[in-house]
Amino acid sequence: MPAVSLSDRAFISISGDDAEDFLQSIITTDLKALPEGEFRAGALLTSQGKILFDFLVARTADGLLLETSAEQADPFIKRLTLYRLRAKAVFARLPENHALISWEPAADGSRDHRFAKAGVALSRRPSDEAAPDTPDVYHALRLSLGITGGGEDKGLGDYFPHDLMMDRNDGLSFKKGCYVGQEVVSRMQHRSTARRRVVTVTGQAPLVEAGAPLIVGDREVGTLLSVSGSTGLAVARIDKLGSALNTGATPSVGGQNVTVTLPGWSGLDWPVDAENAQ
């Protein structure tokens, strides 16, 4: 089975008497529902409900462990420190700067719940070890399944958690009580106003770079988020895209015709009209 190591990752341990209660009060993930040995998606939001930092969070024997991009790690710790006030919580960035991803059960790794939702058993842990397979194996699989989050995609500051399917991958709680940005995302949930969603984009040739618009006819309906060869992720208005697909229109990215699909694990279908988009 393949194993890959992802570079430019960062791991942050959070420990102390108040560590879990503190983190529970500010992030989107419900830590009370997080079993030991499992990574789940999470985010720290702005007061307007948009993603400020995204990460994976796991419960270990020593406390809580966050995985995110190396770029986000230090600003994230600074923001956590700002929120901490008098809470007894200690943040420490681990020396490991790789994530070792394995398709086999690992005694010292934690299962990635995002992939488990899609029926794929995959574990990850901090490491500086080289791995035999190219990271492209992992990213191609991730994008083909429509999986995002964990600091693995850039430019998420314009998005709400619903846009990235966090309401579908158990990274967004509506039951645990208040946290930063909770009122906005709860209102989106209860009013069913989420229109943008992650879709998988597949071409016959390598796709253009992330950031390119997803086009149907002369209308821009989304933005390419990440690319691995001929497969990519986009965040798109599924009401507009669904309406266009129903008329037989063909989406394109960078002048190339592409196929666009909703992740099967999400339970979402193309809405009949804008009022039915969820």
**Interval 66-84 mean pLDDT:** 96
Whether 156 shows a pLDDT value over 90: the answer reads no
Here the tokens at position 134 are 């190219």
- The larger pLDDT score, comparing residue 91 to residue 107, is at 91
Whether 274 shows a pLDDT value over 50: the answer reads no
Whether 277 shows a pLDDT value over 70: the answer reads no
pLDDT digits over 101-144, tens only?
A: 998 776 678 999 999 999 999 999 999 877 777 888 899 999 99
Whether 49 shows a pLDDT value over 90: the answer reads yes
Task: Describe the strand order of the beta sheet including 9-15 as a list of residue ranges.
Answer: 3-6, 98-102, 123-127, 110-112, 38-45, 51-60, 63-69, 9-15, 90-93
Q: Please, which pLDDT band fits residue 278 given cuts at 50, 70 and 90?
A: very low
Residue 15, exposed/middle/buried by CB under 10 A (0-12, 13-18, 19+)? middle
Q: What is the pLDDT of residue 186?
A: 94
3-189 is a CATH 3.30.1360.120 domain = yes
Whether 252 shows a pLDDT value over 50: the answer reads yes
- The HSE-up count of residue 225 (CA atoms within 13 Å, CB side) is 31
**Domain range list for the chain:** 3-189, 195-276
Whether 151 shows a pLDDT value over 80: the answer reads yes
- The larger pLDDT score, comparing residue 193 to residue 267, is at 267
Percentage of the chain beyond pLDDT 90 is: 82
The amino acid sitting at 72 is Q
pLDDT digits over 166-220, tens only?
A: 999 999 999 998 999 999 999 999 888 889 999 999 999 999 999 999 999 889 9
pTM: 0.93
Here the tokens at position 204 are 């016959």
Q: Which residues lie closer than 8 Å to 4 by C-beta, 6 or more apart?
A: 100, 101, 131, 133, 134, 135, 137, 138
Q: What is the pLDDT of residue 218?
A: 85
Here the tokens at position 181 are 């940005």
Give the mean pLDDT of the chain: 92
**Interval 54-65 mean pLDDT:** 93
Give me the residue label for tokens 């791995």.
131
Fold of 195-276: Elongation Factor Tu (Ef-tu); domain 3 (2.40.30)
47 CA to centre of own chain: 19
Q: Which residues lie closer than 8 Å to 82 by C-beta, 6 or more apart?
A: none
Q: What is the pLDDT of residue 275?
A: 41
Q: What is the pLDDT of residue 67?
A: 98
Percentage of the chain beyond pLDDT 70 is: 96
Q: What is the pLDDT of residue 1?
A: 55
Whether 24 shows a pLDDT value over 80: the answer reads yes
Same CATH fold assignment for domains 3-189 and 195-276: no
- CA angle 121-165-111, nearest 5°? 20
**Interval 135-157 mean pLDDT:** 91
**What is the distance between the alpha carbons of residues 135 and 144, in angstroms, rounded to a whole number?**
14
Task: Give backbone dihedrals phi and psi of 187, rounded to 5 degrees, phi first.
Answer: -65, -40
Task: Give backbone dihedrals phi and psi of 75, rounded to 5 degrees, phi first.
Answer: -60, -35
The number of residues in the chain equals 278
Of 50, 26, 49, nearest in space to 177 by CA: 26
Give me the residue label for tokens 């895209």.
241
Alpha helices (H) in 152-274, listed in sequence order: 182-191, 238-246
